[in-house]
Amino acid sequence: MKEKVAAVEAKMIPIYIMGKKYDVPESLTIMKAMEYAGYKYIRGCGCRGGVCGACSTVYRRPNDYKIYTGLACQTVVEPEMYLTQLPFYPALRATYDFAELTGEPEQIFELYPELFRCVACNACTKVCPMDVEVMDYIAALKRGDIKAAAQISFDCIQCGLCASRCMGELPQYHIAQLARRLNGAYLTPRAEHLKTMVANIEAGRYTECLGKLKASDEENLKKLYTAREMEPASAGEDWTPKENTCL
């Protein structure tokens, strides 16, 4: 079951990798097709699962003026496609002292004044391989709505394709990253139960219990393990165990 690059029976189709023609099996992704053709990736390949944004690809179909984009590890080859990989696209990223920020929209405006160069052409949204509504989150930020921007941009994999097509030359994905962090740290309530637990651990509340477990032989540990009470799958947030030693 080794990662197969070619199924014997697959139909072969011609594709153009950076202008050069290769015949590859039709069922492959662009990434596997390029490897099939003999390329070995150094740049332009990461997770191979559509979440890291390393393998942005730009392509055209025959007799079609449009530019199409996708991730090489997710997009299946098409006959006669012309493709180019964009393993790195330059974009400015602001640096900031995160602990000094408080979540005011003006902080984003100061760090990324180019935000207001957006002309709402929507090229960014059209190009996004993750179907993120890029223009909408930029619009939300222009209104000062960081929370909305954080939510809309949540699936962003920071491949940079948005920046590559932006006529206002915004680094959308960097701006979105800042918005998400501000949302997570300053605009969403912190978890109170988390603070309590950390304080309890620091105060040594579980030290003795854990000490006993650490000193247990395997047999005793197995006994405790088997007897431990299971929280039912359908239990609500308020469920409490019957046995409350070591809580």
Partner 1 sequence: MPYPQELKELIKIVESTRAERVERKKKNEEVPFLSLDERKEMLNNHPDFKEEGRRPLKVGPSKNYRIAHEMCNLLEARSRVNPDDIDLSKIDYETDVLVIGGGGAGTAAALLAQEQGAKVIIATKLRHGDANTMMAEGGIQAATKGHKDSPYYHYLDVMGGGHFNNVPELVEKLVTEAPDVIKWLESLGCNFSKFPDGTLHTIHGGGTSRKRMHYAADITGAEMMRTIRDEARNRIADIKVIEFSPAVELLLNEKGHCAGAVLYNMETEEYFIIKAKSVVMATGGSGRLHIQGFMTTNHYGATADGIVMGYRAGVPVCFLHTVQYHPTGIVFPEQAEGILITEKFRGSGANLVNIDGQQFVNEREPRDVEAASIIKECIGRGKGIPTPTGKMGIWLDSPMIDMLSGEGTVEREFPGKFILYKRFGIDISKDPMLIYPTLHYQNGGLEFKNTGETKVPGLYVAGEVGGGIHGENRLMGNSLLDIMVFGRIAGKSATIYAREKANGSKLSLEHVVRYNKEVAEAGIEPEKVAPMLLPDYTSSSTKARQYTTRYLGTMRTFK
225 touches partner 1 by CB under 8 A: yes
> What is the distance between the alpha carbons of residues 190 and 177, in angstroms, rounded to a whole number?
19
188 touches partner 1 by CB under 8 A: yes
> What is the distance between the alpha carbons of residues 28 and 24, in angstroms, rounded to a whole number?
8
Q: In the set 49, 63, 65, 203, which binds partner 1 (CB under 8 A)?
A: 49
Beta carbon nearer to partner 1, 120 or 184:
184
> What is the distance between the alpha carbons of residues 211 and 101, in angstroms, rounded to a whole number?
41
Beta carbon nearer to partner 1, 119 or 247:
247
Q: Shortest Cβ distance from residue 69 to partner 1 (Å)? A: 13
Which residues lie below 8 Å from residue 134, measured CB to CB, with a gap of 6+?
124, 125, 128, 153, 162, 172
> What is the distance between the alpha carbons of residues 138 and 119, in angstroms, rounded to a whole number?
10
Q: In the set 11, 19, 20, 192, which binds partner 1 (CB under 8 A)?
A: 192
Q: In the set 21, 61, 117, 222, which binds partner 1 (CB under 8 A)?
A: 222
Q: Shortest Cβ distance from residue 1 to partner 1 (Å)? A: 5
Kindly state the tokens that stand for 214. Answer: 């650490």
Beta carbon nearer to partner 1, 63 or 227:
227
Q: In the set 11, 42, 90, 203, which binds partner 1 (CB under 8 A)?
A: 42
SS3 call for 227: helix
Q: Shortest Cβ distance from residue 82 to partner 1 (Å)? A: 20
140 touches partner 1 by CB under 8 A: no
* Tokens 């997770």, residue located: 47
Q: What is the sign, positive or negative, of the torsion defined by CA atoms of 234, 236, 241, 245?
A: positive
Q: Shortest Cβ distance from residue 119 to partner 1 (Å)? A: 27
Q: Which of residues 57-96 bind partner 1 (CB under 8 A)?
A: 74, 76, 93, 95-96
Q: In the set 13, 54, 72, 83, which binds partner 1 (CB under 8 A)?
A: 54
Q: Which of residues 15-34 bind partner 1 (CB under 8 A)?
A: 27-29, 32
Beta carbon nearer to partner 1, 65 or 215:
215
Beta carbon nearer to partner 1, 43 or 143:
43
Kindly give the residue spans of alpha helices, DSSP state H, lying in the chain.
30-37, 105-111, 123-127, 134-142, 146-152, 161-165, 172-182, 192-202, 207-215, 218-227
> What is the distance between the alpha carbons of residues 56 and 125, in angstroms, rounded to a whole number?
15
State the DSSP string of 150-214. HHHTTT-----HHHHH-TT---HHHHHHHHHHHIIIIISPPPHHHHHHHHHHHTTTTHHHHHHHH
Q: Shortest Cβ distance from residue 134 to partner 1 (Å)? A: 15
109 touches partner 1 by CB under 8 A: no
Beta carbon nearer to partner 1, 51 or 86:
51
